[in-house]
Amino acid sequence: MTRHGQPNELPLVQALTWRRSTTGWRLYSGKRCFGEVIEDAKYPGMWRAPLSGGRFSDMANLSWARNAVYEAAVREITWEHQVAQQTGDAA
């Protein structure tokens, strides 16, 4: 997996940026939100990522929580790019 900022990354990956939200931090590429991290209600300084079905990820410090969301976004962007190449769609 490539790391943020390398020249062989897809444009959407290169454009990933964190923006502050009312509940924590959200990861965007342009206007598209790829995920967020919110501070744990019970343990200050610990963070979680919302998951499907109203669940949350395990607790982690802010750096690790943001990295987990970032890596998931990179996987999603890469997968979408590969599917688009296979079907002949422009990505």
**pLDDT 10s digits, 29-45:** 999 999 999 999 999 99
- Which residue did the predictor score with more confidence, 6 or 68? 68
| 11 band by pLDDT with thresholds 50, 70 and 90 | confident
Cα–Cα distance for residue pair 91/36, rounded to 1 Å: 24
The sheet with strand 24-29 has its strands ordered as 16-20, 24-29, 32-39, 47-48
pLDDT cut 90: percent of the chain above it = 78
pTM assigned to the model: 0.83
Residues 60-76 have a mean pLDDT of 96
Q: Indicate whether 58 pLDDT > 50.
A: yes
- Which residue did the predictor score with more confidence, 67 or 88? 67
Torsion sign (Cα): 57, 58, 64, 68? negative
Residue type for position 68: A
Torsion sign (Cα): 23, 29, 33, 39? negative
